[in-house]
């Protein structure tokens, strides 16, 4: 496989994952706006930070409003992480790696792009927003389904999966980092309405309310939330889950190619360093510091994969 | 009587034999169902991404080439004659290229004037004395044909550089098979689906002698923003070979090699879809970002096959075109089977005078032009356009050739008001390898969708049709 | 005359070069006037990828940089036995047709200045005409370094009125082609008698004359090449005969030094 193709597959799946995550974050913001009324613009600022798009937004707009935040995240061409740009980049990558994809996969990506481009051709009204967001998530699920159902489990699939879980881990970590203060034991005025909303926001933005309930029951507590999103082995958006998938897929690559590279040692170290502690130890170390360290280790891993598998010249 | 020969109805509104079965089927169809099918076809093309990029002001826009569901039908007998002529012509083109880059016998023999080559930018000195692997210059050729009556086909132009459109030929058939399976069980149509495999085999058969083992073939594309990118990825995909860009390639151990996830791997045969000038910034245009520095050196050292061979453009130049009957006769010893359109070379004073005197009846083309740009169609041009073109002709006569306006045949298209005749041309696709010449039955039919229009180019409002060659 | 030649081209870079190529034409061929007794082209900091003979029958080699190299040294050296043929190289050989040498190139395209200069040349026969043209070119372009560069065109050179051997050759070629002669560029070496360290490689022109075949003209030295001239490569202009042309990825500052020594071996041979 061409190095460029490996890179194209990796970025295609990262961008698809990103578009889905962004849609989910907008959904969460919208939900808060509905439950908290007029006073929600502050919440949108934190959502922009979570999506790592706030500095671009600030360059374009003086203030954060619901409308401009949603438009920025959904369809602004100046925001490379907007849903529209992500899907377009994903599709361009898919075009580039067309020969590595099955017809069904390509069609699913292309159809997602065509549909989403059509939906986001103009500003989305509040009334249409839920439907638009649902379609974005649905299209992403179609693509995942086509990949799951039609791709050979070889290096093509491995790079796709690695991209997906890198992006997802990054996303979950950023959500926690923006909100970490509400999870800190000393900061929480337990049971206040404000905190309940914040915690709910966190769980919602990773579609984890149901899963949390099944695991930890109805009581929403910061320690359990952190435990669930960082370390749970079955929660498909937890850091632990994502890292173990990355490790698996890098492992398949190593055995496929008959060669262990620095990437494999890098993910092993990362897993050992971040996933072998209990949640209290993490709080002792400092949740914010832990997440910062994790994000930087993840970025290092991403660079190592690029080098080892020759994505670029 | 209609003015033009219609391939379905002839000149007298009687269904011609090759169209009999189709016509029966068509009569039994509900127009509403066919309209729905036409839309369905478009949706299929859009989903598959069979688009071409049009460069506008700001960004590339992707467009579909309109597809018409009425097939163009050619009888087995008609095809036999055509393919004989194509075979002869393609062999002559290869022989001409070999000669022109070696001893130039045809010039020594005085059959074509030296000036045609001497100042021609398509003549590539780097190719002089180079013997391409397998002795093949034009591995992939498209011959553009037009028909004017029951028996007469003309060659409009030869495409010996990088003929495009073969993916449309294949997708058009695929779409028709999906939409109208019943039609194909009634009519026996020669298949086209073997093309990618034949292409792969014919490329592999031209691998350099130094290559032991199965040759590694790759397709070189300028990238996803190129207007024919879909075709490049389509062909690579169907052949099961890598689709590479210049940035994937380097010279490693004396070979052109591609960067894979496991290191550099040598390529033996490169089907390149990049023009000569851009293929090697070390040897040609130094500003090219698309090519591979040093690839010409590897080629000249005999360690890679480039298909088509660089420098082949000298054979499909519109000025050289006018000498094709001589070229065919010189190298094959036979009269050309396919006719050339009579052509006036405007660099000859007498011809120029004739062209200027008869401008309103002629088609004038740029010698190096393509895509239907920069040409004048006399009969449909205004006085002002004619006057402007006359000035251009006088300023640079060398740059133009002129031909009579041909009465191109028509084939009906499906419109809201039912069937309506439109002008068509035909581009059959030809593969050349040491094993022989392989012509896919049919080819790409391009159709001018505008009533009365003679311009079939997709960049100017043309569409395509599935092309059927019937079994014997 | 027996000449020993050593031509060392040294490239130094500020940053390591990840990937780069140098295409070199540094190997002379034996002809009527010269016999190459021994020759080698070697490289430090890189490797030889391949070699072939181009359409001008030049020996071309392609070298690549070792990954991460910060310098590349190309060393061409050898021993050539020469005789004086008064510039006559002989009949045209090879597949490249003679008429191709009447083709313009960007550097040898005759504009107004070249055409007018060409018109002033006089002579009773072709050879006389060409020698006169050579003198006219020299009076129009005085020898001066630093006024032109390797991509200057014949017209630019005439406008400047100054240039080096390459420029004289280009102007002379442009004029000769305008007068209907096939003409080509030659790169090689000249042994200047007063010194062993030469300033650079040399360049001159060859014109095809019906009676004699190819004949050399060295404009600035006002003669046809004799036994002090070693012919290495030919082409339509400098770019086709250039001793070295390279392609680098990335933009790093390049520092090029060339040293050429040409020395007569006559004495040592006779001892």
* Residues 6+ positions from B236 with CB-CB distance below 8 Å: A99, B218, B219, B242, B243
Tell me the CA distances in angstroms from B93 to A134, A299, B89, B157, C10, one per residue in order: 58, 56, 6, 12, 46
| CA distances to B5, B56, B301 from C54, in Å | 52, 42, 9
Alpha helices by DSSP H, C141-193:
154-160, 165-178
Protein fold of B342-405: Dna Ligase; domain 1 (3.30.1490)
User: Which residue, among C173, C187, C246, has the nearest Cα to C59 in the 3D structure?
Assistant: C187
What pLDDT does residue C91 have? 94
Q: At what angle do helices A103-119 and A83-96 cross, to 10 degrees?
A: 150
CB–CB contact C21 B298 (8 Å): no
User: Which residues lie closer than 8 Å to B29 by C-beta, 6 or more apart?
Assistant: none
- Give A272→chain B minimum CA distance, Å: 27
- Whether A313 and chain C come into contact, CB under 8 Å, resolves to yes
pLDDT in tens, chain A (313 residues): 999 999 999 999 999 999 999 998 898 888 877 776 556 677 888 889 888 898 999 999 999 999 999 999 999 999 999 999 999 999 999 999 999 999 999 999 999 999 999 999 999 999 999 999 999 999 999 999 999 999 999 999 999 999 999 999 999 998 888 777 777 766 555 556 666 777 777 888 888 888 998 998 888 888 889 999 999 999 999 999 999 999 999 999 999 999 999 999 999 999 999 999 999 999 999 999 999 999 999 999 999 999 999 999 8
Residue B366, pLDDT above cutoff 90 = no
Partners of residue A313 in chain C, C-beta under 8 Å:
18-19, 249
Nearest-CB residue to B114 (from C95, C99, C236): C99
Contact in structure between A51 and A81 (CB atoms under 8 Å)? yes
The residues near C98 (Cβ < 8 Å, ≥ 6 apart) are C92, C182, C208
What is the C-alpha to C-alpha distance for residues C32 and C89, in angstroms, rounded to an integer?
6
Question: Which sign does the torsion angle of CA C220, C223, C229, C233 carry?
Answer: positive
Q: Is residue B324 scored above 50 in pLDDT? A: yes
With beta carbons under 8 A apart, name residues in chain A contacting C19: 313
Query: What average pLDDT does chain B have?
Result: 92
Interchain proximity A99–B259, CB inside 8 Å: no
CB of B179 closer than 8 Å to CB of B41: yes
What are the chain C neighbours of B254 within 8 Å (beta carbons)? 49-50
Domains and CATH numbers, chain C: 2-82+243-270 (2.60.40.2250), 92-241 (3.10.620.30)
Q: How far from chain centre, in Å, is Cα B276?
A: 17
Chain C residue at shortest CA distance from B247 = C249
Q: Any chain A CB within 8 A of the CB of B224? A: yes
Range with lowest mean pLDDT among A40-49, C76-85, C88-97:
A40-49
CB contacts, 8 Å: B244 with chain A? 2
Chains touching B by CB (3 or more pairs below 8 Å): A, C
Residue from B462, B371, B382 nearest B423 by CA? B462
Q: Where are the beta strands (DSSP E) in A110-244?
A: none
Sign of CA dihedral C139, C142, C147, C152: positive
* Gap between the Cα atoms of B10 and B14, Å rounded: 6
Q: Where in chain B is the domain with CATH 3.30.1490.270?
A: 342-405
Residue B347: count of CB within 10 angstroms of its CB: 18
């Amino acid at each position: 496989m061409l190095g460029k193709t490996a890179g194209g597959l990796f970025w295609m799946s990262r961008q698809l994952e990103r578009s889905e995550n962004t849609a989910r974050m907008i959904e969460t913001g919208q939900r808060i706006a509905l439950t908290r009324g007029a006073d929600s613009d502050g919440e949108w600022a934190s959502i922009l930070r979570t999506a790592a798009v706030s500095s671009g937004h600030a360059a374009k707009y003086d203030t954060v409003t619901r409308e401009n935040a949603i438009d920025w995240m959904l369809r602004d061409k100046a925001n490379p992480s907007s849903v529209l740009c992500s899907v377009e980049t994903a599709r361009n990558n898919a075009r580039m790696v067309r020969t590595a994809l099955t017809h069904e996969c390509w069609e699913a990506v292309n159809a997602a792009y065509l549909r989403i481009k059509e939906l986001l051709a103009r500003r989305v009204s509040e009334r249409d927003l839920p439907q638009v967001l649902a379609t974005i998530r649905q299209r992403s699920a179609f693509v995942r389904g086509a990949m799951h159902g039609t791709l050979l489990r070889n290096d093509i699939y491995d790079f796709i999966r690695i991209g997906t879980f890198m992006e997802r881990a990054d996303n979950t970590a950023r959500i926690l980092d923006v909100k970490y203060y509400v999870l800190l034991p000393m900061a929480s005025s337990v049971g206040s309405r404000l905190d309940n909303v914040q915690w709910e926001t966190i769980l919602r933005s990773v579609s984890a309310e149901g899963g949390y309930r099944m695991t930890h029951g109805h009581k929403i507590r910061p320690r359990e939330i952190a435990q669930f999103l960082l370390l749970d082995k079955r929660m498909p958006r937890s850091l632990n889950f994502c890292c173990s998938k990355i490790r698996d897929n890098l492992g398949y690559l190593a055995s496929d190619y008959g060669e262990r590279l620095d990437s494999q040692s890098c993910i092993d170290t990362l897993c050992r360093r971040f996933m072998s502690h209990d949640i209290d130890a993490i709080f002792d170390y400092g949740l914010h510091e832990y997440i910062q360290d994790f994000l930087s280790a993840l970025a290092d891993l991403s660079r190592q994969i690029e080098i080892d598998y020759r994505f670029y010249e | 009587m209609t003015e033009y020969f219609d391939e379905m109805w002839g000149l007298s509104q009687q269904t011609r034999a090759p169209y009999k079965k189709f016509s029966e089927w068509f009569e039994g169809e509900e127009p509403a169902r066919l309209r729905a099918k036409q839309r369905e076809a478009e949706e299929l093309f859009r989903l598959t991404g069979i688009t071409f990029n049009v460069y506008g002001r700001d960004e590339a826009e992707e467009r579909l080439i309109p597809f018409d569901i009425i097939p163009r039908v050619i009888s087995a007998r008609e095809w036999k004659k055509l393919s004989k002529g194509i075979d002869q012509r393609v062999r002559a083109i290869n022989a001409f290229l070999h000669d022109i880059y070696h001893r130039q016998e045809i010039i020594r023999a005085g059959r074509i004037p030296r000036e045609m080559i001497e100042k021609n930018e398509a003549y590539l000195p780097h190719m002089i004395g180079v013997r391409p692997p397998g002795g093949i210059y034009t591995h992939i050729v498209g011959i553009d044909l037009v028909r004017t009556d029951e028996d007469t086909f003309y060659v409009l132009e030869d495409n010996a550089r990088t003929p495009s459109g073969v993916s449309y030929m294949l997708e058009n058939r695929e779409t028709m098979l999906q939409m109208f399976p019943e039609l194909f069980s009634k009519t026996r149509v020669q298949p086209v689906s073997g093309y990618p495999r034949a292409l792969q085999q014919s490329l592999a058969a031209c691998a350099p002698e130094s290559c032991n083992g199965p040759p590694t073939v790759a397709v070189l594309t300028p990238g996803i923003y190129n207007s024919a990118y879909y075709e490049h990825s389509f062909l690579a995909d169907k052949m099961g070979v890598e689709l590479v860009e210049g940035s994937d390639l380097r010279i490693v151990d004396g070979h052109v090699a591609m960067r894979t996830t496991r290191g550099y791997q040598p390529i033996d045969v490169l089907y390149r879809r990049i023009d000569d000038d851009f293929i090697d910034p070390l040897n040609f245009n130094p500003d090219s970002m698309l090519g591979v520095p040093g690839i010409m050196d590897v080629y000249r050292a005999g360690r890679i096959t480039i298909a088509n061979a660089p420098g082949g453009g000298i054979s499909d130049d519109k000025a050289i075109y006018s000498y094709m009957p001589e070229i065919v006769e010189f190298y094959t010893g036979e009269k050309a089977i396919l006719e050339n359109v009579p052509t006036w070379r405007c660099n000859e004073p007498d011809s120029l005078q004739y062209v200027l005197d008869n401008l309103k009846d002629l088609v004038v083309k740029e010698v190096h032009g393509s895509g239907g740009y920069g040409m004048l169609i006399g009969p449909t041009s205004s006085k002002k356009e004619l006057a402007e073109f006359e000035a251009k002709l006088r300023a640079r006569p060398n740059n133009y050739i002129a031909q009579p306006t041909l009465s191109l045949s028509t084939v009906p298209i499906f419109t809201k008001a039912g069937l309506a005749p439109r002008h068509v041309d035909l581009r059959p696709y030809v593969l050349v390898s040491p094993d022989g010449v392989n012509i896919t039955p049919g080819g790409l039919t391009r159709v001018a969708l505008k009533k009365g229009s003679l311009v079939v180019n997709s960049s100017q409002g043309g569409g395509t049709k599935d092309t059927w060659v019937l079994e014997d | 005359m027996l000449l020993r030649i050593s031509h060392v081209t040294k490239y130094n870079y500020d940053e390591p070069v990840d990937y780069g190529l140098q295409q070199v034409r540094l190997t002379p061929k034996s002809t009527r006037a010269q016999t190459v007794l021994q020759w080698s082209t070697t490289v430090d900091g890189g490797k030889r990828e391949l070699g072939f003979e181009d359409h001008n029958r030049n020996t071309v080699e392609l070298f690549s940089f070792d990954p991460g190299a910060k310098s590349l040294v190309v060393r061409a050296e050898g021993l050539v036995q020469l005789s004086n043929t008064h510039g006559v190289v002989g009949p045209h050989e090879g597949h490249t047709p003679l008429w191709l040498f009447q083709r313009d190139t960007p550097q040898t395209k005759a504009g107004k200045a070249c055409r007018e200069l060409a018109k002033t040349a006089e002579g009773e026969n072709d050879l006389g005409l060409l020698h006169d043209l050579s003198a006219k070119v020299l009076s129009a372009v005085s020898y001066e370094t630093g006024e032109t560069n390797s991509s200057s065109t014949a017209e630019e050179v005439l406008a400047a009125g100054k240039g080096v051997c390459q420029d004289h050759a280009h102007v002379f070629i442009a004029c000769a082609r305008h007068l209907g002669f096939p003409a080509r560029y030659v790169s090689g070496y000249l042994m200047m008698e007063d010194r062993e360290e030469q300033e650079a490689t040399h360049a001159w022109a060859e014109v095809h004359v019906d009676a004699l075949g190819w004949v050399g003209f060295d404009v600035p030295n006002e003669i046809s090449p004799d036994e002090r001239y070693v012919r290495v490569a030919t082409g339509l202009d400098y770019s086709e005969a250039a001793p070295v042309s390279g392609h680098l990825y990335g933009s790093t500052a390049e520092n090029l030094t060339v040293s050429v020594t040409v020395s007569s071996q006559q004495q040592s041979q006779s001892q």
